[in-house]
Amino acid sequence: MSLFNTIRNTIVPVHKEGYPFVAAFFAGSLVLGWLWEPLFWVGMVLTLWCAYFFRDPERVTPQDDDLVISPADGRVSSIQMVVPPAELNLSTEPMLRITIFMNVFDCHINRAPVRGKVNHVVYREGQFLNAELDKASIDNERNSLVIESPRGNIGVVQIAGLVARRILCWTAPFQTLEPGERFGLIRFGSRLDVFLPAGAEPRVSLGQRSVGGETVIAEYGSAKGPVISRRS
Give the residue numbers marked as catalytic: 190
**Using CA atoms, how far apart are residues 118 and 183, in angstroms rounded to an integer?**
11
Spatial neighbors of 216 by CB under 8 A, at least 6 apart, are 62, 67, 68, 69, 70, 203, 204
**Using CA atoms, how far apart are residues 172 and 118, in angstroms rounded to an integer?**
7
